[in-house]
Chain A
Amino acid sequence: MSYGLGILKGMSVTLKQFVESYTKKGSIVTVQYPEERREDVERFRNFPILVYDEKPEAPRCVACDICAKECPPKCITIVRDRDEQGRGLQKPKVFDIDLSVCMSCGICEEVCPFDAIFMDHQFELSAYDRMESLNYHQEKLLKPNSYLHQIRPTDATQIDAKLKAKEEAKKKTQPGTTA
């Protein structure tokens, strides 16, 4: 087996790629990141965000602490808000997610019974120090429902429909009190 054919065949492949990179359009696969960007993928999940309907003060989250218990790397800390008499309110006073620990696995979004926490698409979140600036507090996590519709249209519409259905069901079950 002389040192001939296999080598020339191999060289012909790389030469073809070289020539094609000038002629064929799809041959160069690089996406020049800051100028060109890949199109947005709906189910892409990065770090979690809290969703509120009208006012940021009233997020959907009721501080039930299920996501904090279920989170595998335990990066969510929730403190329930208390009114003056010390009774617990249906609202978190403190809701921190330590982004340096979170591995964006999406389990909090699955287990949340109130559809309050979702995985965001925003990935350009660089910070100068690891400890404090990556520990996102509630203000930084809150995002309006319209933003959710913008990044995840199909899921957002389904959830809105579900919530609306739950609203009617609640209205129907105790018409006496509200009507």
Chain B
Amino acid sequence: MFVIWLLVISRTEMDKPETTLDTQMLEVNIGPQHPSTHGVFRMNVTLDGETVVRLKPAMGYLHRNHEKIAEGASYLASMPFTDRLDYICSMTNNLAYAIAVEKLAGIEVPERAQYIRVIMAELTRLVNHTLLVGFLLNDLGAFFTPTLYAFREREKILDLFEATSGARMMCNYMRFGGVKADLHPGFMEKLKEIVENYPRFLDEFEKLLTENEILMSRCQHVGILPKHLAVDASATGPLLRASGVDYDIRKVDGYSIYPRFKFRVPLGSVGDVYDRYYVRILEMRESIKILEQAMKEIPPGEFISKQGATGAKSPRTFRPPKGDAYGRIESPKGELGFYLVSDGTPNPYRYHVRPPSFINLTILEDMCLGCKVADAIIILGSVDIVLGEVDR
């Protein structure tokens, strides 16, 4: 009886706190040097107690004007710089740039190179989503355990990248018209091994996390992004699909040879942090399906077209025709696009990057208003930004 009486009290009294005494707003700068801003990103947050009243992001700490450097260099010379855009998925950055230049110059890509590119892009998606889930749990406070499980799996994939392209994170592997070098001899066995026990890792990961009540109570109905706002604010990638909008550029544009693969696009329902977490786990499972199909169907043949090989051999002589082109792909963080204007010289006249994390930040404030400081941190984590791409 006493218990029920207490619960009744707690429902009525505590919900209407009238603040007679004037409280002062606490203005806190979260960042640029902060354990969980995923890089040098600052949020100027005004707090009323613990709840966020105003949040103004400030960026540009890592700005090195990648676009001005690209205008001074030849087309191929900015390929290694695209690795530094989103330094977690360097292969998809290369792929986006290669596709944009191929659209600009009209270069054909042989079959085997298309398959290699799809395999590398999907492996990068696995790397990015695993890392993101790990770091999201880090922001939630789990003392590095999920992150280190994620790193353990990522290492296997990075060893593949190193053996094929020469470097673990800064691969610089794709060329206009194909890839720099063919897959190294032991590639297929290692890939088969990864693809086979990745689902087992994901099941263990889900067993550790998805049903965890603390994670559910911390992430469900937090930082909700309504469907219409997501579309209007051109959010892209898992952030958009978690709000339920069915827009995946691999399906919409069907670039490279993605239409040949059978895979599904997971969609969230509420659009909160929990949906973004779980949509990424489901996307990883879809990527594994694509990898299985690509592994079986990869044909032998040349890994770079003749025209591409000569272009790679002497970048000075690679002069795309006058005009402009906009190539875009579905990078793990969203729509990564390159807008190139060429005036016939070996240097691009205008080189613009459409970075997904930079534009996904437009609605960070809308999601964080009214929630606690701890929520603002995990909402930023769930948006999945990488400062190399935000600041370029």
Residues of B within 8 A of A157 (CB): none
Selected interface stretch from A9-17, A88-96, A159-167 = A9-17
Q: A5-B211, A42-B184 are in contact. Are A107 and B76 (CB under 8 A)?
A: yes
Q: A6-B212, A43-B165 are in contact. Are A110 and B204 (CB under 8 A)?
A: no
In the bound complex, do residue B164 and residue A14 qualify as a contact, i.e. CB atoms below 8 Å apart?
no
In the complex, which range does the number of interface residues on chain B fall in?
35 or more
Residues 119-148 of A at the B interface (beta carbon under 8 Å):
119
Q: What's the Cα separation between A72 and B181 when bound, in Å? A: 20
Residues of B within 8 A of A44 (CB): 162, 166-167
Q: What's the Cα separation between A72 and B172 when bound, in Å? A: 12
In the bound complex, do residue B312 and residue A110 qualify as a contact, i.e. CB atoms below 8 Å apart?
yes
| Smallest CB separation, B202 vs chain A (Å) | 12
Residues of B within 8 A of A70 (CB): 74, 76-77, 315-316
In the bound complex, do residue A111 and residue B315 qualify as a contact, i.e. CB atoms below 8 Å apart?
yes
| Smallest CB separation, B95 vs chain A (Å) | 17
Residues 193-230 of B at the A interface (beta carbon under 8 Å):
204, 207-216
In the bound complex, do residue A14 and residue B145 qualify as a contact, i.e. CB atoms below 8 Å apart?
yes
In the bound complex, do residue A43 and residue B164 qualify as a contact, i.e. CB atoms below 8 Å apart?
yes
Q: What's the Cα separation between A106 and B314 when bound, in Å? A: 14
| Interface residue from A7, A12, A42 paired with B214 (Cβ < 8 Å) | A7
Binary interface encoding of chain B residues 308-337 relative to chain A, with 1 for a CB under 8 A from any of its CBs, else 0: 000011111000000000000000000000
| Interface residue from B80, B155, B207, B313 paired with A9 (Cβ < 8 Å) | B207
Residues 160-204 of B at the A interface (beta carbon under 8 Å):
162-167, 170, 172, 180-181, 184, 204
| Interface residue from B170, B180, B184, B213 paired with A103 (Cβ < 8 Å) | B170
Residues of A within 8 A of B204 (CB): 13
Residues of A within 8 A of B172 (CB): 105-107
- Measured CB to CB, the nearest residue on chain A to B165 is A43
In the bound complex, do residue B180 and residue A110 qualify as a contact, i.e. CB atoms below 8 Å apart?
yes
In the bound complex, do residue A110 and residue B313 qualify as a contact, i.e. CB atoms below 8 Å apart?
yes
- Measured CB to CB, the nearest residue on chain A to B214 is A7
The answer to the question of A1 belonging to the interface, with a C-beta cut-off of 8 Å to chain B, is yes
| Interface residue from A3, A14, A119 paired with B213 (Cβ < 8 Å) | A3
The answer to the question of B287 belonging to the interface, with a C-beta cut-off of 8 Å to chain A, is no
The answer to the question of A104 belonging to the interface, with a C-beta cut-off of 8 Å to chain B, is yes
The answer to the question of A69 belonging to the interface, with a C-beta cut-off of 8 Å to chain B, is yes
In the bound complex, do residue A13 and residue B207 qualify as a contact, i.e. CB atoms below 8 Å apart?
yes
Q: What's the Cα separation between A72 and B315 when bound, in Å? A: 11
- Measured CB to CB, the nearest residue on chain A to B313 is A111
Q: What's the Cα separation between A101 and B183 when bound, in Å? A: 29
The answer to the question of B73 belonging to the interface, with a C-beta cut-off of 8 Å to chain A, is yes
| Smallest CB separation, B315 vs chain A (Å) | 6
Residues of B within 8 A of A71 (CB): 77
The answer to the question of B262 belonging to the interface, with a C-beta cut-off of 8 Å to chain A, is no
Residues 39-66 of A at the B interface (beta carbon under 8 Å):
41-45, 66
In the bound complex, do residue A107 and residue B313 qualify as a contact, i.e. CB atoms below 8 Å apart?
no
Q: A5-B211, A106-B172, A110-B180 are in contact. Are A72 and B163 (CB under 8 A)?
A: no
The answer to the question of A179 belonging to the interface, with a C-beta cut-off of 8 Å to chain B, is no
Residues of A within 8 A of B159 (CB): 41
In the bound complex, do residue B81 and residue A72 qualify as a contact, i.e. CB atoms below 8 Å apart?
yes
Q: A10-B208, A110-B312 are in contact. Are A41 and B163 (CB under 8 A)?
A: yes
Q: What's the Cα separation between A13 and B167 when bound, in Å? A: 33
Q: Which 4 A-B residue pairs are closest in the complex by CB-CB distance?
A: A6-B211, A105-B80, A45-B166, A72-B77
Q: List 6 A-B contacts (CB under 8 A).
A: A6-B212, A10-B211, A13-B204, A71-B77, A106-B172, A110-B312
